[in-house]
Chains A and B, each alone.
Chain A
């Protein structure tokens, strides 16, 4: 009967309870939706970083990433790629050559990162080929070696498909090497910084320009079934790449790892701020509810309801009020989130700013089940904490005075 009395007490002053429940629901809806939105943005950034830029694992010669020294190469790269691809969790692996050239075009110059890829192999690992907005990828034969560049670089150097660029770099023997490439395609990712600095050419073309030996590479990029398993798969790849350095995408891009880890914390802080604000409203509602029932609480004490039960009843009322609002807010937030999981929220008006930080301008919301469970637990805790003061107030009542209160 305590549960029954508590539930009915919630609805004793319907208007007041409805206002409070609506406030809780609205707050939680905003919290859930914002979390889903931010999670979606982060997921898209990670997806872009792993699927377009980094893959899930990379193998390099030790110190290659620190020095970018083209002499620090992986030997027997072909065999290593085949062996890695034979692992269960691995979808594909791709060998790459990497150089840091000086780029000369008719309307400007610039630096960047030139990546030599085997097109058919690379297509299995990254999706740059799907991001081509003009021209084509590297698969077609042409008289002049093809290069795929980012839209941002194309705009800066005023390059178009078919335009020639000269790429200058130091080759393996230490000599200056210059080679002409023709722009075969222009790509656009959600990361303009990447688009401005990264160029793709065929593996063999870069190999020839650098003068690299056969069966060597600077990098092997590995795509897994599930990016979250990168840490678990890493030891298996390390066994096959003995003497080389294997790194997960989180290790390769610590800022990405920080983004993932810190986003959860920021979001929970955000939810906690919402709940804290709601907490004052709930305390006020519960306090009014207790003060309006002094006579009744006095009677309950008189007829034998002990302090523990009175405390429990008031806590229960607060939790029921909070959970009702919280459940509505979470349900509403989940429903709206579900809707935007398949229909993107269009932020193209802010695309320039977003993409300069690597974020997509069209965001699909994403909400994890464990996030909802955590929010639900926080809601219950809020209900509990909000009732403590009103409950204490009730327990301090003297039944003799309370039963005669006006």
Chain B
């Protein structure tokens, strides 16, 4: 069974292919998108444990994709990747709700740890949501 289900978003197709293959070798189930619009469509259609998002992409950049994705699914676990890390971008990404921010080339073992952290967080949120729904049903029927 896969350790996690992740979406990688980058405009460089060779990078997507290579990182995807390395993650699959670590039992991560990988889907890819080569731009922000494609990523948003896949995010709307599937439930990912984590999204690994490149900051610098043509047209819809990583930060804008992050904002739009979190607006639709606030519990998404997004890890922003960039070729030019700066404290400013990191702070902005975290403020917008990113799980973390890493500089390219990311250490894949660290990235895998972050992806697993994203999965755990998402599962906790899911469990909490289910528990809240049950409590609400119990309260509604005065059980």
Q: Do A and B come from one complex?
A: no
